[in-house]
Structure 1
Amino acid sequence: MARVVSVFLPTLPTDRVRRADPSIPAEAPLVIVARSGSTRWLSAVDANAAKLGLRVGMPAAKAQALVQGLHMVDADPVADLAALERLTFWALTQYSPIVAMDPPDGIVMDTEGADHLQGGEQPMLSRLVNSFRARGLPARAVVADTWGSAHALARSSTKETFVVPPRQTPDAVISLPISLLRVNAESVTGLRTLGFKTVGELAATPRAPIALRFGPEIGRRLDQMFGRIAEPIDPIRCPEIIEVHRAFAEPIGAAETIAKYVSRLVTQLCLELQAKGLGVRRTDLIVHRVDNTIQALRAGTAKPVRDVAWLTKLLHDRIEKIDPGYGIEKLSLAATMVEPLNDRQISLVEDADVDVTSLIDVLGNRGTQRIYRLAPVASDVPERSVQRVLPVASEDGQTWPMTWPRPVRLMDRPELIEVMALLPDHPPVWFTWRGKRRRVKRADGPERIYGEWWRRTSEWVAVRDYFTVEDETGERYWIFRSGDGVDAETGSHKWFLHGMFA
């Protein structure tokens, strides 16, 4: 079942102006002014202007009289469309093989077959909205069964993200205003004159009188919103994307036939990549069916590749997800994300390095999100001395300090323990952790770790004294006392268990 994401960018024109002109103060109200002949009105307002009572459609002269120091910029629809196009290309490389512009203020994408790579629909929407916010672009995102319903809900919801469960579209849209049906303003005005206010009221009305008065467009939009007829998304493509196609005189549908032509497309794509010295990081298989619907499969790799056998395997592993319907009339294979890749000759007398990227690719394309590698960070504080990086990230030269041994396992949070110890620098005689008392047979320490005063003032005098202790059963633990055992300003003098040795 298709799942469609609609991204609404409510202040795209003003956000574009601010990004292009950083000299505009962040707190200053900004509006975009459109004109038709001698008439000038506000076509877009930012959040600051909206708080002051300005709204889209207000005469520009009235807005200027209401707000002193108002920043007014002439509308530039061409520049707005170009900005939306750039954002759509970016979303294509990050989230889905099927992404298109939804002018003037939105992006639409079919995430069927791609949302698992983002950890599911809700994590995908959250990551999408956060990515736009990081670029200074407020956004709202909704996922639903159809383009029409997702589009309407994104522009009516007060939430940043909203997931409509599968097959629950009618319940979600019946109370929406008819202005969100994507029909022209004259039709909306006429429907309101007849007393229609919501989509549900219009959907419950016999279709013939409406079509006779307003034409077939309203009925078509209703059918698209409720999923009765398909509304295919024509994916955006830039000239730089390397893409190969195969059209069929007779539609195909058997899995073996699909696999055969996918293999041929992969071979053709790799030849074009080799000619340009590139490797692919993200590959999209676009399936065009005879019923005018599109499906897509996305395969990602941890590093750039152009290995025909390996790319073919990654795509073949997911062919069973393709629903051919009444038949497939065209297959397209696109290298959505590429990186430079030079040929490398392997010596016959030297052992090749063990490469685990194939395993990483298989797990990643199955939707596994927790693939990472631990890397050291230049910090003496244990919980800050490690970070998660991509599994194939290059080494940065950092190493862990080897003066004192470190445990294999660190607790998510140091756990409070009860201890009997002689202050200021003696190890514990016993400690109680999780309700069980453990007698200390051997101990080593203390290792003193100072706070990082350049991070926060509370760490100027903070210290920890770490001990490696072994109990009567041979288990070894890493515990510490907060403070130096003398001065109360250095810590609470409470004891904590922070890790365990193998």
Structure 2
Amino acid sequence: MTRVVSIYLQDLPTDRIRRADPSIPPEQAIAVIARSGSKRWVSAADAAARKAGVHVGMPAAKAQALFRGLMLVDADPAKDAAALERITLWALTLYSPIVAVDGIDGIVMDTEGADHLQGGELAMVTKIANQFLAKTLTARVAIADTWGAAHACARASRETVIVPSGETVRAVEKLPISLLRLPGKVVSDLRTLGFQTIGELANTPRAPLTLRFGPEIGRRLDQMFGRVPEPIDPIRTAETIEVSRAFAEPIGAAETINKYVGRLVVELIEELQKRGLGVRRADLIVEKVDGTRQAIRAGTVKPVRDVAWLAKLFRDRTEKIEPGFGIEKLNLVAVIVEPLEERQKSSSLVEEEVKDVTPLIDIYGNRGQRVYRVAPVASDVPERCVQRISPAADPVEVTWVSHWRRPVRLLTRPELIEAIALLPDRPPVSITWRGKRRKVKRADGPERIFGEWWRRDAEMEAVRDYFVIEDEAGERLWVFRSGDGIDLETGSHRWFCHGIFA
């Protein structure tokens, strides 16, 4: 069943201003001022300004008098629209093949079949909110069965909203009619008539409303409740490489779908070859006769122009296509492309054996598995000395430099243990870890590791003393004491287990 995610960017104008000028302090309140003739009013205000009492529609002079330290910036709708388009294109590469701009302050995407790749709907919407926050973008996220319901819920709540499938009516019936995406004049007239909520409007006979306001109210209600489809037209740019095939008679057989997908792959590769590009991610968008869409995404770890391989990646997943009453159009879009140069094959009589594992990586990646390599990082702090990189990335020249042994397994986070030890620099004689008491038979250390003061001030004095210990059963652990054992400013003097040796 179709599931739609709506992302509401309430503070897009002020977030854009902050991103353009990183020197603006986080605590600085910002208001965006629009003008028409001699009138000037607040068209957007960030959280700090709203907390001070500034709101949208307030005269600019009153806002400035209300908050002396308020930063006023002239509105620029063109730059806001361009920023929203860039953000939407970024979301297209990350989340779903069907992503579009929703008004002037939002993004909408069809995530049918995409949530399982990110651990379910809760994990997916949480990840979306966190990634937007990491980009210094304030976002409210909602997911529902329809575009209208997700749009309304994202704007009605300050928290992430997940509307269970089939519960659209319960989720939206008490929301204000202003969230029904109707013209402002219609909303104003409906309020004059006494309508306040979507539920009240939905339970009113349709004929009188249509006679007075036209079919728009009924259409929006039907779209919200899923009675009529509301297709999402994916965002495209002039540089987007896309090929399509429309059918006079709808198709539905798996063999027929695969045949035309293969032909579209050939056309796409030809376009890529003309531009010297290779595809990293491609989307197959299936348009059905009932107005709904279904999408399949295939990605590669390296840019490719291999017709057979790209066609195989799609054929492996076309079985998930549900043609319904038939498919009337297929679109194949190159979402991510990179320059790709043809390599000349060796002319030697003896071919060198080259082991290329990228096809295997592509297969696992398209099944939703996260494939990566681990590379060393120049850091003495154990949890910082590794990083995840692309499985096809160039070899990393950095190597680990250490004269001390390291455990074969490093715990995700150091785990608190109870230890009996003589301060300041003696190893523990016994520890209790995960509810089990262990007597230490042998120990080696300490190895002192200092905090990286250039990262943050809290590590200016911090130290850790690491020991390799062996218990009565022969298990060897990597433990450390936080602090130097004398000065509490260097650490709490508590003990932790950080790794396990072979």
Same fold (TM over 0.5): yes
Deviation at 1:406, TM superposition (A): 2.4
Please tell me whether the aligned partners of residues 372 and 390 of structure 2 are also in contact (alpha carbons under 8 angstroms).
Answer: yes
Residue by residue, what CA displacement relative to the aligned partner does 1:282-328 show, whole Å, maximum 9, x if unpaired?
11001111222222111122222222222122211211221212111
Within the alignment, does 1:42 sit opposite 2:48 as a pair?
A: no
TM-score, structure 1 as length reference: 0.88
Task: Tell me the residue number matched to 1:391.
Answer: 391
Amino acid across the alignment from 2:356 = D
Deviation at 1:496, TM superposition (A): 5.2
Structure-to-structure mapping, 1:320-399, within 5 angstroms: 320-345=319-344, 347=346, 349=350, 351-369=352-370, 371-399=371-399
Ranges in structure 2 where 5+ consecutive residues have no aligned partner: none
2:259 aligned counterpart, secondary structure: helix
Please tell me whether the aligned partners of residues 114 and 297 of structure 1 are also in contact (alpha carbons under 8 angstroms).
Answer: no
Structure-to-structure mapping, 1:31-430, within 5 angstroms: 31-68=31-68, 70-159=70-159, 161-345=160-344, 347=346, 349=350, 351-369=352-370, 371-401=371-401, 403-412=403-412, 413-414=414-415, 416=417
Amino acid across the alignment from 2:271 = E
TM-score, structure 2 as length reference: 0.88
In 1, distance between residues paired with 2:76 and 2:4? 29
Deviation at 1:382, TM superposition (A): 2.9
In 2, distance between residues paired with 1:219 and 1:39? 36
Amino acid across the alignment from 2:192 = T
Task: Label 1:356 to 1:41 Cα distance change in 2 as closer, same or farther (>3 A).
Answer: same
Amino acid across the alignment from 1:215 = G
Please tell me whether the aligned partners of residues 451 and 462 of structure 2 are also in contact (alpha carbons under 8 angstroms).
Answer: no
1:300 aligned counterpart, secondary structure: strand
In 2, distance between residues paired with 1:415 and 1:483? 11
Deviation at 1:46, TM superposition (A): 2.4
In 1, distance between residues paired with 2:234 and 2:242? 13
In 1, distance between residues paired with 2:424 and 2:47? 58
Deviation at 1:493, TM superposition (A): 7.1
Deviation at 1:37, TM superposition (A): 4.2
2:188 aligned counterpart, secondary structure: helix
In 2, distance between residues paired with 1:500 and 1:342? 46
Task: Label 1:479 to 1:315 Cα distance change in 2 as closer, same or farther (>3 A).
Answer: same
Task: Say how many residue pairs are matched.
Answer: 495
In 2, distance between residues paired with 1:313 and 1:409? 38
In 2, distance between residues paired with 1:54 and 1:76? 19
Moved more, 206-215 or 271-280: 271-280
Deviation at 1:486, TM superposition (A): 7.6
Please tell me whether the aligned partners of residues 422 and 428 of structure 1 are also in contact (alpha carbons under 8 angstroms).
Answer: no
Deviation at 1:458, TM superposition (A): 5.8
In 1, distance between residues paired with 2:479 and 2:61? 68
Residue by residue, what CA displacement relative to the aligned partner does 1:211-244 show, whole Å, maximum 9, x if unpaired?
1111111011000000000011111111111111
Amino acid across the alignment from 2:196 = K
Task: Label 1:444 to 1:197 Cα distance change in 2 as closer, same or farther (>3 A).
Answer: closer
In 2, distance between residues paired with 1:183 and 1:493? 63
In 1, distance between residues paired with 2:152 and 2:440? 66
Task: Label 1:223 to 1:468 Cα distance change in 2 as closer, same or farther (>3 A).
Answer: same
Please tell me whether the aligned partners of residues 97 and 298 of structure 1 are also in contact (alpha carbons under 8 angstroms).
Answer: yes
Task: Label 1:407 to 1:239 Cα distance change in 2 as closer, same or farther (>3 A).
Answer: same
1:63 aligned counterpart, secondary structure: helix
Amino acid across the alignment from 1:401 = V
Residue by residue, what CA displacement relative to the aligned partner does 1:401-444 show, whole Å, maximum 9, x if unpaired?
3633322122332452656899966x77776655364673xx57
In 1, distance between residues paired with 2:83 and 2:203? 39
Task: Label 1:57 to 1:424 Cα distance change in 2 as closer, same or farther (>3 A).
Answer: closer
In 2, distance between residues paired with 1:55 and 1:491? 46
Amino acid across the alignment from 1:309 = A
1:482 aligned counterpart, secondary structure: strand
Please tell me whether the aligned partners of residues 419 and 430 of structure 1 are also in contact (alpha carbons under 8 angstroms).
Answer: yes
Deviation at 1:338, TM superposition (A): 1.0
Amino acid across the alignment from 2:76 = D
Amino acid across the alignment from 1:189 = S
Amino acid across the alignment from 1:467 = V
In 1, distance between residues paired with 2:438 and 2:327? 68
1:6 aligned counterpart, secondary structure: strand
Please tell me whether the aligned partners of residues 480 and 496 of structure 1 are also in contact (alpha carbons under 8 angstroms).
Answer: yes
Deviation at 1:76, TM superposition (A): 2.9
Please tell me whether the aligned partners of residues 284 and 295 of structure 2 are also in contact (alpha carbons under 8 angstroms).
Answer: yes
Please tell me whether the aligned partners of residues 381 and 449 of structure 1 are also in contact (alpha carbons under 8 angstroms).
Answer: no
Deviation at 1:263, TM superposition (A): 1.3
Moved more, 449-458 or 125-134: 449-458
In 1, distance between residues paired with 2:152 and 2:137? 20
Please tell me whether the aligned partners of residues 281 and 298 of structure 2 are also in contact (alpha carbons under 8 angstroms).
Answer: yes
In 1, distance between residues paired with 2:30 and 2:424? 63
Please tell me whether the aligned partners of residues 232 and 292 of structure 1 are also in contact (alpha carbons under 8 angstroms).
Answer: yes
In 2, distance between residues paired with 1:106 and 1:297? 24
Please tell me whether the aligned partners of residues 425 and 446 of structure 2 are also in contact (alpha carbons under 8 angstroms).
Answer: no
Deviation at 1:491, TM superposition (A): 6.9
Ranges in structure 1 where 5+ consecutive residues have no aligned partner: none
Task: Label 1:60 to 1:382 Cα distance change in 2 as closer, same or farther (>3 A).
Answer: closer
In 2, distance between residues paired with 1:457 and 1:90? 35
Amino acid across the alignment from 1:41 = W
Please tell me whether the aligned partners of residues 32 and 45 of structure 2 are also in contact (alpha carbons under 8 angstroms).
Answer: yes
Please tell me whether the aligned partners of residues 117 and 364 of structure 1 are also in contact (alpha carbons under 8 angstroms).
Answer: no
Deviation at 1:191, TM superposition (A): 1.6
Deviation at 1:254, TM superposition (A): 0.8
Amino acid across the alignment from 1:228 = R
Residue by residue, what CA displacement relative to the aligned partner does 1:7-36 show, whole Å, maximum 9, x if unpaired?
111122233344445666654443333344
Deviation at 1:447, TM superposition (A): 5.4
Task: Label 1:435 to 1:246 Cα distance change in 2 as closer, same or farther (>3 A).
Answer: same
Identity of aligned residues (%): 60
Task: Label 1:453 to 1:96 Cα distance change in 2 as closer, same or farther (>3 A).
Answer: closer
Amino acid across the alignment from 1:204 = N
Task: Label 1:172 to 1:457 Cα distance change in 2 as closer, same or farther (>3 A).
Answer: closer
Please tell me whether the aligned partners of residues 98 and 234 of structure 1 are also in contact (alpha carbons under 8 angstroms).
Answer: yes
1:138 aligned counterpart, secondary structure: coil
Moved more, 136-145 or 110-119: 110-119
